Structure 1
Amino acid sequence: MNHPARLAAAVLTATMAVLTTACGSEGGDSPSDPIKGAGSGDGKTSASPSASTSQGGVKRPEITLSKDFQADFENWTNSDPKLQAILNDGREQLRAKYAAVINADPNSEAVAFYSSEATRVSARKWINQFVEDDNDIMGKVTAFDAKALISDTGSGVLFYCVDERGASTQNRKTGKVVKTPDKPESVLQYRTRLDKTPQGVWKTTSVTVVAGGCSR
């Protein structure tokens, strides 16, 4: 079965099975801790096609997207290094899932690197939807309006929006292209929580995706 592209939402229950209308969650509750710091992007950057970094002495996996798929990250910078680290690892967690779909690899090491056990399981289910339907992703998504916070418990909180209206799925065998509907529901809001590992990696521990949660 061919689904219209809903590149972000993890579909976990039968009531969420239609990607064009569903909201998804990846483990845990939506972030709601009181915050002691807040920031949004103050510049404009685009993620490189391949991002292999060694921040804080930690070697991060190289993530490469195909030439047919582009993920732009607008206003994804912050003057606070702690909040920038949350932005960086939150961005790479999303890019890792896109790359896993492109590579038809539900067991992606990069997804595991940036995800907790709970979000890794649900991300694998989401990736498998594309693998089982033999679908690739193409076109462009734009992530914008990122806001990084640090809660009183020390967890990171990252809210951002993803506009999927420029993206499509393409069946690898038939070549059939299904474009993401040009509707408000195709602009998603991500509400994510991240926890810092002893090695200094901000792993995503919960994700809630709200269809139509942002406007653009």
Structure 2
Amino acid sequence: MKRRSLPVAAAFAATAALLLTACGGGGDSSKDSDKIAGADDGGTKTSASPSASAADSAQRPKVTLPGDVTNVFESWKTGDATKDAVLADASRRIDALDYAITQGNADDSVLGFYYKGDALVGASQWVKEFVDAKKSMTGETRFFKPRVDVYAKGKATLSYCSFEGKAYVKDRKTGTADKTPVTNKSYLLYSTRLEKSDKGVWQTAVLNSERGNSACTP
């Protein structure tokens, strides 16, 4: 499904995988908010985003996720400096969305740092759905099989998979997690478009996701 309208009520009722991230994402806000389960492609796991290069003038905000929320990025490096910069800011965008969800703040400025346009609107709406439902998130999400194409100066596309089988929606008051069985729907394929800002940040402008896509399922 494409992340455009975020049918939260249905997602909450149907599955705890309602985590996005936005919207792993939030760009062209996806319709499927659940995070996806990922297949192991043998890559090295990295849970922290690469640091900005010395030539980058952007003062990126420090984002620290709660101890019970983990994002694991597998094979999130290509060896190409530009592509790795795209991947670094994409991973920061994912962390930023989860941070806003766990903080219960749909207007957190960190979202505007890594999202823009319709993607930013979608991400804010997605976080608001969690806030209104008095929900948060917990668990681990794996992101794998990234494919980057820098097709013009300051413009790139990025697709990747995620596995959300160990990520759950959590009641904000009681802390109780809604655990559901792992199925093909636990895997998602994300398609995004990024644009480099005048500060050197690769911001996500468009984000779509499809649950259960065979490119990501085992």
Q: Smaller-chain TM-score range? A: 0.7 to 0.9
Aligned-partner Cα distance in 1 for 2:155–2:190: 16
Residue in 1 aligned with 2:171?
A: 171
Residue in 2 aligned with 1:204?
A: 204
Which of 6, 10, 34 is the equivalent residue of 1:18?
10
Distance 1:187 1:28, change over 3 A: closer
Q: How does 1:41-120 map to 2 (within 5 A)?
A: 44-48=44-48, 53-55=51-53, 56-120=56-120
Letter in 2 for 1:26: G
Q: What's the CA shift string for 1:51-99, capped at 9, x where partnerless?
A: 6955312111111111011110011011110100110111111110011
* Paired residue secondary structure (1:207): strand
Residue in 1 aligned with 2:148?
A: 148
Residue in 2 aligned with 1:195?
A: 195
Residue in 2 aligned with 1:135?
A: 135
Aligned-partner Cα distance in 2 for 1:121–1:95: 17
Task: Decide whether the 8 Å contact of 2:72 with 2:141 is kept in 1.
Answer: yes
Which of 211, 214, 217 is the equivalent residue of 1:215?
217
Aligned residues: 194
Question: For structure 2, which runs of at least 5 residues remain unmatched after alignment?
Answer: 31-40
Please give the TM-score of this superposition, normalised by the length of structure 1: 0.79
How far off is 1:181 after superposition?
Answer: 3.7
Residue in 2 aligned with 1:32?
A: none
What is the aligned-residue identity percentage? 27
Task: Decide whether the 8 Å contact of 2:50 with 2:88 is kept in 1.
Answer: no
* Paired residue secondary structure (2:10): coil
Aligned-partner Cα distance in 1 for 2:178–2:120: 27
Letter in 2 for 1:148: V
Task: Decide whether the 8 Å contact of 2:27 with 2:207 is kept in 1.
Answer: yes
Task: Decide whether the 8 Å contact of 1:146 with 1:161 is kept in 2.
Answer: yes
Letter in 2 for 1:58: A
Distance 1:114 1:141, change over 3 A: same
Aligned-partner Cα distance in 2 for 1:110–1:147: 25
Letter in 2 for 1:18: A
Distance 1:53 1:105, change over 3 A: farther
Q: What's the CA shift string for 1:137-189, capped at 9, x where partnerless?
A: 11111001111111247521111111000011111223332124411011111
Aligned-partner Cα distance in 1 for 2:166–2:201: 31
Residue in 2 aligned with 1:162?
A: 162
Distance 1:80 1:43, change over 3 A: farther
Question: For structure 1, which runs of at least 5 residues remain unmatched after alignment?
Answer: 1-8, 30-40
